[in-house]
Amino acid sequence: MERFKRQIQLPQVGDSGQLKLKNAKVLVVGAGGLGCAILPYLVASGIENIGIIDGDTIEESNLHRQILYSEDTVNLKKVFAAKTQLERLNTTVKIKIYDEFLSVSNALQLFKCYNLIVDATDILKTRYLINDASVITNKPFVYGSVYRFEGQVSVFNYKNGPTYRCLFKDKNQTVTNCEDSGVLGTTVGFIGMLQANEVIKIILGIGEVLSGKLLMYNTLNNTQNCINFKKKTTIKIDEHFFNLTHSNEGIIDVCISEVLSKQTILVDVREFGETPKIELPNTIQISMSNLEKELNNLEKDKNYAIFCQSGKRSIKAIQILKQHQFKNVNNIKGGALTIQNYIKNEKCIY
């Protein structure tokens, strides 16, 4: 515990608090500017179970504020580069990365695996998705946003407290991202550290959490303001936006490394000629357009893992197979691109 002795000395932390940090499970949505400021402090504090979801690639214009990355990581996927750098900071950390964007099809499943969600995005639609998935799964989430020299931080859905919709009920509002409005890296870093601080306070159960409070800070003139807001009982989850259906019920997403370690047949339901071409042992290709015609060529007692390009066709294929009494059928989440990344990196990213 030598690494953490300075924070263990704090009476609000101690050995018991350090154990809480060790056992906590935190999902960070976004590995951009805010994510790059949040993640190093979570890892350094001793939080050993961290998930990162982001489907983006590093660009040179990211480097002035996304400090986990360097010139030699440009054009690499953010989650891989972030994982590598964070593991250098703390070799005991267990980082699970998801090389995809948060969506209505993966949010609930992911959130159920974590105690706490951190919003490190700059997309308004994603924030409402994070909120609604957090409410459904009963997870608190730490919010942060940046506009030029100004930033905001709050905590939503904490101990049945106010949600994002209680404060921002109009999801049709316009939000400008860093690419369009410009931003200083220091502003992003400052807000990200405030978010990390809220995460640690929530895990430890100390201090005054920013639940029902919106902290606003202007780094240009050093002014700070904090407004209070209450939970609104009239606010409901926008199920139309969230698209909550049971069409995917019973479909299990599996990691490609799990599949390869078992006697499973991989079925590529893309059309012939689609790239990238996947060449793995025990892989067959049956296009969606021919699937029902070729069902007789498949043995129902075998284990199958289905994939396509993005996931839509594979889910439909699984539904068809289940209708024809195929029982051992799973979905390879992320499709062909995820498999290709695994082959290149020889590691599981789901």
Active site residues: 178, 308
Rounded to whole angstroms, the Cα distance separating 163 from 337 reads 35
Structure tokens belonging to residue 234: 């009239």
Cβ-count burial 226-257 (b if 16+ within 10 Å, e if not): eeeeebeeebebbeeebeeeeebeebebbbbe
What are the phi and psi torsion angles at 283 (to 5°)?
Answer: -110, 135
Rounded to whole angstroms, the Cα distance separating 339 from 257 reads 9
Task: Tell me the Cα Rg of the chain.
Answer: 22
The residues with which 95 forms a beta bridge, in sequence order, are 50
- Of 189, 80, 196, 178, the C-alpha closest to 123 is 178
For the chain, the first-to-last Cα distance in angstroms comes to 30
Structure tokens belonging to residue 273: 């000629």
- Of 324, 159, 330, the C-alpha closest to 260 is 330
H or E element in which residue 96 lies: strand 94-98
Rounded to whole angstroms, the Cα distance separating 148 from 118 reads 21
Distance of CA 329 to CAs 111, 251, 254, Å?
A: 23, 8, 10
Rounded to whole angstroms, the Cα distance separating 139 from 24 reads 13
- Of 150, 225, 221, 143, the C-alpha closest to 190 is 150
Torsion of CA 55, 58, 63, 66, to 10 degrees: 20
> Which residue in the block uniquely carries the two structure tokens 């267990």?
94
